[in-house]
Structure 1
């Protein structure tokens, strides 16, 4: 029993020494703002996810931009797809889906903290005509995952803001 506890402690120490962190608030860094306002374009699913992560980080979400230390605006959000390859009958075999988000961050007085920035994510999918519904669900799931990735990237950029 003592040997198992010692081995477990040693494993935890080794993991922490190499910089390993569980996914969560620790992996995003510390956001240097106590209050944030979610402005233009944050009413959809992306905005909902941003709210959830900000609340989990104990950041106050303000109703008015002038009361916030940072204002996040989503300037555009777009999903698209492109064909990668066709089969011998000329039907789509593989395609890529893209998720493109343009955002900016200002302080409450309108000073630019993060200029208009673009995040573009891409995932590749194979298409199977006999599994159309399953492939549609897979595509929806990939878009949700890409939204989560975009939120993580926005929060990482927010944590890197130099407020001086």
Structure 2
């Protein structure tokens, strides 16, 4: 029994080393096979990296795909966790927040959400060049984390969920259109009062 378990474990290790992974065991397999991707900063590093990861995961990324991922806003901030005098080390916390929408048919928004990553780094007052380099490296790591977290979010979306979200968005859009039409009709049927004319003095 132990030998058989060891054999199974050994085969699993060998297969994973070859790049083979079972479906649903930590793969980056997405239910969305076609995706349009855009961002406010169309040539930014986040959207560029995300496009590469999506394509390497077997997703066809092109304009006009059934679903569209829009990176609406990416905001970076930094705050001091500990203050130190000149020439001494200080801790800084860096935060990146990425807001995004997923759109379906007729450009209707199916969901809006955001991702946030944080990291702490030490700024060495005696080594400004090294500290600046460290800051850039931390930003790169955070961007990789953002892309990875986005992939995890996309993995959670099933075709059934997307269909339900589309139906909800369609119903909302229809209700809004009907409400607008009713308001316009009511306004058209309301008699327009002519401006009151004052008698000539």
State the TM-score bracket (shorter-chain normalisation). Answer: 0.7 to 0.9
Whether contact under 8 Å (1:98, 1:122) holds in the other structure is: yes
- State the SS of the aligned residue for 2:31: coil
Paired positions, count = 149
Shift of 1:28: 4.8
Higher relative contact order (CA 8 A, sep 6+): 1
Deviations 1:83-103 (A, max 9, x none): 111136697611111111111
Normalising by structure 2, we get a TM-score of: 0.63
Deviations 1:80-135 (A, max 9, x none): 1101111366976111111111111112432333x221211111111211211111
Aligned residue for 2:29?
Answer: 30
Assess if the C-alpha contact under 8 Å between 2:93 and 2:119 holds in 1. yes
Higher share in helix: 2
Residue 107 (str. 1) matches residue 95 (str. 2): no
CA–CA distance in structure 1, aligned partners of residues 27 and 77 of structure 2: 28
Shift of 1:60: 1.3
Q: CA RMSD in A?
A: 3.0
What TM-score, normalized to structure 1? 0.76
Contact 1:71–1:108 (Cα < 8 Å) also in 2: no
- The structure number with the bigger radius of gyration is 2
Query: 2:66 aligned with 1:69, yes or no?
Result: yes
For residue 95 of structure 2, the aligned residue among 91, 95, 98 is: 98
The 8 Å contact of residues 67 and 102 in structure 2, kept in 1 or not, is answered as: yes
CA distance in 2, matches of 1:100, 1:74: 11
| d(CA) in 1 for partners of 2:87, 2:39 | 42
Bigger strand fraction: 1
Q: Report SS of the residue matched to 1:85.
A: coil
Instruction: Give the match for residue 60 of structure 1.
Output: 60
Bigger shift: 46-55 or 151-160?
Answer: 151-160
Unaligned runs of 5+ in 1: 1-6
Structure 2, unpaired ranges of 5+: 1-5, 164-201
Q: What is aligned with 2:78?
A: 81
